[in-house]
Amino acid sequence: MATRKKVLLKVIILGDSGVGKTSLMNQYVNRKFSNQYKATIGADFLTKEVTVDDRLVTMQIWDTAGQERFQSLGVAFYRGADCCVLVFDVTVPRSFESLEAWRDEFLIQASPRDPEHFPFVVLGNKVDLKDNRAITENRAKSWCDEKGNIPYFETSAKEATKVETAFLTIARAALQQEKDEDIYHDFKDAVNLDDVPDKKQDGCGC
Amino acid sequence: MMEERSSIASSAEYQSFRSTVPKRRVDVDYMGKEYTWKIFDYGPKTTPAPVLFFPPVTGTADVYFQQLISLTGEGYRCISMDYPVTWSIDEFVGVTLTFLQQFGLNKVHIVGASLGAFLAQKLAELTKEYRLVQSLTLINGFTDTAAFKSAPSALVVQFLPGFMLKRMLMQNFPQGRLHTDVANSIDFIVEQLETLTQPELASRLNLNIKPSYVDPRPILDQHIPVMIVEVQDKCAISSNVRLEMLKYYPDARIAHLKHGGNFPYLAVSSEVDMFIKIHLRQFYGTPASPTSDSELNDMFKKQASGAATAEASDSEQTASHAASPPAHKQRQERAPADAKPVKSRGMFDSDDDDDDDNEDDETF
């Protein structure tokens, strides 16, 4: 039960369509970037094993689509999330203004036990497009501070700027959240059938 | 038998499922012998490639009722089954092919758990020339019956009385602290186990422990997309067995579940449904589509044919809902259960063609 338990961190990426959610995930997991835009249909996930503070963890990163038709994945999609990443495009003001709505959407759907302290991370993506920049770093930061000191990173999925650093922060925040949840579940949501230590496996299957 | 029913069995979902979807008996004649399948066949019969559900040793077709409800809601046709009594992999594959031929099915997706995952792989491996199996979803599966080394010999199992077989199986269930939903799933499985007869159980256990293993090459040669569903909490599959499976399918999509125990399709069903949908979406709009929902199929066809058009329509849509994120609509389209069956295309004219392919199966 204690420390050697395998850890799965569920991370959900939200944000307007076209801000680069899939690209960020692909850059982080596969170290690949494609200029060709392809709308994500529904949701998809990638997994990556990473070491966070000497702990091997599996990150399951979920990428969502803007299209309403596929939001039917519903509650299961959000259930058990350990960290929510909000992404906007620094060249598109509207995508920044949507952050609030995405954050609310997440809190409603995932209904975390402790919404005040649930970890979010904000990424301002496409910083490589310097000439078209519309949202300043300060403006983004002050929004993040207002919402309870959300960590903020300026990324470029295209040039792999700060992607690794951002995801390390995401993983740390998720790991902390997962630990808290786990302790909670140990007390709350468990049925004690019989306190026998793990019996031999490989019996005859089931 | 049991008066007090488990919370899953007494749930409104299960009650309503059982009262709307009949469990049908299907008799299949194979090599002069009669075999009985008990199935739920749910969803539109016009679906190009239905999803077959193979239960674990202890389970019946019922264990997948939640997936059936959820997937048929997206236009899928699902066939969940109680296995007929068979005593070897070849016999199982032969009978299954005859069964599918009788239903006019030449393309299927399979979701299988534990023994069901093993049998799904064997079916895919031994039907290479038919290209029968389009995708595999393997839940707490294994690739070699040697996984169960401490089990009694297959020969002994055949002659043990039913109550002893049940006791043997129940010893595998985890003990200690469990999530409520995992505990509930075990209660339901125990009830289902009670409904299985001695020959049914002995046959399943025999298949489960008789020396046999999967040869992944024919599966990889057919480029069958594989998804491996793994739980992070305790289950009857050891970590070595899991690793072995991952080695078999290096390109598999791995769906990790934080918890779910031995029977995640019951314990955390909505997550399992979601993973199955995500895995099978790659077939939407293709001749092997698991859904008959034309809107869905068209959308994916468009996506495949040109990304540029998708971009335009997608950003438009987002603009309209971004400020107020979408309400989650629950789709409730149920296709009539009595839609016309597809005509048999006589794919499997020689039922036991797979015989020349078996380099695996030990015969006693």
Domains and CATH numbers, chain A: 7-33+42-180 (3.40.50.300)
Candidates A17, A104, A201; nearest CB to B314? A17
Distances (CA, A) of A4 to A11, A56, A182, A186, B232: 21, 10, 13, 15, 12
pLDDT value at residue B151? 72
Considering only A95-104, A182-191, B181-190, which range has the smallest mean pLDDT? A182-191
* Set of chain A residues whose Cβ sits within 8 Å of the Cβ of B278: 42-45, 73
Q: Which of B177, B315, B319 sits opposite A190 (nearest CB)?
A: B177
CB spacing of A101 vs B324 below 8 angstroms: yes
Nearest to A80 among B178, B258, B318 (CB): B258
Give chain A positions within 8 Å (CB) of B311. Answer: 18, 37-39
Sorted by where each starts, the structural domains of chain B and their CATH numbers stand as: 22-304 (3.40.50.1820)
B74 near B324, Cβ under 8 Å?
A: no
What are the chain A neighbours of B176 within 8 Å (beta carbons)?
A: 192-198
pLDDT bracket for residue B168 (50, 70, 90): confident
Chain A, nearest residue to B183 by Cα: A191
For residue B16, CA distances in Å to B64, B166, B189, B264 come to 14, 28, 19, 21
Percentage of the residues of chain B whose pLDDT score is greater than 70: 82
Place of tokens 């009722």: B65
The encoded tokens of residue B168 equal: 């043997």
Residues of B in contact with A183 (CB under 8 A): none
- Residue in B172, B176, B126, B110 with CA at minimum distance from that of residue B147: B172
Question: Could you tell me if B165 and B193 are in contact, meaning their C-beta atoms sit under 8 angstroms apart?
Answer: no
Q: Mean pLDDT over residues B5-11, rounded?
A: 94
B148 or A125, higher pLDDT:
A125
- Give the pLDDT of residue A145: 96
DSSP one-letter code for A161: B
Q: Which one-letter amino acid corresponds to residue B126?
A: L
Question: Is the Cβ–Cβ distance between A66 and A16 less than 8 Å?
Answer: yes
Pick the range with the lowest mean pLDDT from B92-96, B120-124, B331-335, B360-364.
B360-364
What is the longest distance spanned by two Cα atoms in chain A? 65
Provide CB contacts within 8 A for B7, sequence distance 6+. Answer: B184, B187
pLDDT of A67 = 52
- Residue in A88, A126, A86, A128 with CA at minimum distance from that of residue A106: A86
User: Which residue of chain B is at minimal alpha-carbon distance from A181?
Assistant: B258
| B81 DSSP assignment | E
Q: At what angle do helices B198-209 and B115-126 cross, to 10 degrees?
A: 70
Q: DSSP state, B212? A: -
Which pLDDT tens digit goes with each residue over B35-59? Answer: 999 999 999 999 999 999 999 999 9
pLDDT digits (tens, 9 = 90+) for A16-60: 989 999 999 999 999 989 887 777 777 789 999 999 988 999 999
How close is the nearest chain A Cα to the Cα of B99, in Å?
A: 25
Q: Provide, as residue numbers in chain A, all residues whose Cβ is less than 8 Å from the Cβ of B177.
A: 1, 186, 190-193, 195
Mean pLDDT of chain B: 84
What distance in Å separates residue A197's CA from the closest CA in chain B?
7
Average of pLDDT values for B77-95?
A: 97
* Nearby residues of B289 by Cβ (< 8 Å), 6 or more positions away: B47, B48, B49, B283, B297
* Range ranked top by mean pLDDT from A61-75, B121-135, B229-243: B121-135
Q: Is the pLDDT of residue B3 over 80?
A: no
Q: How confident is the model at residue A184 (pLDDT cuts 50, 70, 90)?
A: low
Please name the member of A8, A196, A203 whose beta carbon is closest to the beta carbon of B172. Answer: A203
pLDDT at A44: 85
Q: Do A44 and B278 touch (CB under 8 A)?
A: yes
**In this predicted model, what pLDDT tens digit does every residue of B231-281 receive, in sequence order?**
988 888 888 898 999 999 999 999 999 999 999 999 999 999 999 999 999
Is B258–A72 a contact, with Cβ atoms under 8 angstroms apart?
no
Chain A CB within 8 Å of residue B252 CB: no
Dig out the tokens for B100 from the structure.
């599918």
Which has more pLDDT, A180 or B122?
B122
Which structure tokens are listed for B293? Answer: 């929902």
- Region B194-212 average pLDDT: 92
Q: Which of B115, B232, B323 sits opposite A101 (nearest CB)?
A: B323
Contact (CB, 8 A) for A13 and A77: no
Contacts within 8 Å (CB) and 24+ apart, B99-102: B99/B26, B99/B28, B99/B35, B99/B37, B100/B132, B100/B348, B101/B344, B101/B346, B101/B347, B101/B348, B101/B351, B102/B26, B102/B28, B102/B344
Q: Is residue B105 a contact partner of residue B78, using CB atoms and an 8 Å limit? A: no
In the predicted model, is pLDDT for residue B364 greater than 50?
A: no
Confidence of residue A190 (pLDDT cuts 50, 70, 90): low
pLDDT tens, residue by residue, A78-110: 889 999 999 999 999 999 999 999 999 899 989
Grade residue B177 by pLDDT with cuts at 50, 70 and 90. confident
Is residue A146 predicted with pLDDT exceeding 70? Answer: yes
Write down the pLDDT at residue A192: 54
